[in-house]
Each structure stands twice: as structure tokens, then as C-alpha cells.
Amino acid sequence: DYQMKLSSLVTLYIRLDAKCKGLPEKPISDIMRQEKEKDLCHCESEILKETGFDLEIELPYKYIFEYKAYPASDMDKITEVACKFCNDSFLKPICLYYHPIEIACACIYLSTLFWKKKLPDWKGLPWYKMISGDMELPQIMDISEIMRQIYSRAEKEAIQKQEALKRQFLI
């Protein structure tokens, strides 16, 4: 386990916040750091109170690995990429709105799109019904669309950086 000191976390937060707002990096005063540390501790307290200190969280990986037993070729490739999509899903607050089973299905669905592979039905049921009998394709597609926003934003940022570099070297 990696543990970060509160002061380091606050410093990182302040720098990332400035960067996101397009502000220049400037030295961080002790007073500013102490105020942010106090705010962070207060927020942590409020979150813990609101959740009743119950922070046992079920993760989607379990369902992805259970699905690995699905009788189709290339399941290793599909589950490997599905796990990567699962990692990226935490860049959005998806886990606050959807059950881990739903997120796992969306990750598997995105993985099949990535590999351009259609998973066959099994015993007359679509692949996602193997994971959860309650699952429906429109649910999976909705979550997948939210996850795709992660990549479309990253792609836009990469294009903007590329254009900025071109301008920098052409001038």
C-alpha cells in the first residue's frame, strides 16, 4: 500500500487545481496549505458521517474475472482489456451511480468493441445475462457511453497539445 502524507496530497491538489484552471504555477504558502488541509479533513469527516463509516466497496473486477470462464475464444484478451477499462472507469464517478455488475458488463462490452469481437449467446442467453439475469443491453450501452467520454476528452486534449506544439515550433 502506498500512503501519501496529507501535506503532499494537499500540495498535489493545489497544483492540479491551478493547472486545470490554466493558472501559472506559484509557490504554495504554509497558510494556504494549512487551510486546504483543514478543508480536506473536514470533507473527509463529512463523507465518513454521511456513509455511516461503512466503506466496504465491491469492485467490478470480481465479475470480470468470473466472466473469464465464458466459453468463447479470446476471453483472456477480452478480460484483460475489460480490466483496463474498469481502471479507467474510476476517472468518472460511475461507481457512485451504478452497481459493480453493471460496470463490469460495460467494461466487457467496451472490450468487445475494442477487439471488434461479438460474443456469442450461451445456452440461448446473451453474454451479459451470464453475469446478471437482470442486466439489459440498453443499461450497458448507457454506462459505456459515459465511459467513452473519458477517451473522447483525452483525445481532444492530445490534439490540443499537438497543435500547441506545432504552433510553438512553427513560430
Check: CB of residue 108 under 8 Å from CB of residue 78.
yes
Largest CA distance in the chain: 64
Looking at the chain, which runs of residues are DSSP E strands?
A: none
Asked if 125 contacts 88 with a C-beta cutoff of 8 angstroms, the reply is: no
Number of H helices, E strands in the chain: 8, 0
Give tens-digit pLDDT for 68-109. Answer: 777 666 788 999 999 999 999 988 888 888 999 999 999 999
Q: In a 3-state reduction of DSSP, which class is residue 16?
A: helix
Please report where in the chains the cell 440498453 appears, as a residue.
Answer: 138
114: which residues sit within 8 A by CB, 6+ positions away? Answer: 81, 85
Query: 58 is written with which cell numbers?
Result: 465491491
Of 40, 35, 45, 43, which Cα lies nearest the Cα of 6? 40
Residues 111-163: tens digit of each pLDDT: 999 999 888 887 888 988 888 888 999 999 999 999 988 887 777 777 777 77
Q: Does residue 57 or residue 129 have the better pLDDT?
A: 129
pLDDT value at 167 more than 90: no
> Rounded distance, CA 71 to CA 127, Å?
10
Q: pLDDT, tens digit, for every residue of 3-21? A: 668 888 888 888 888 888 8
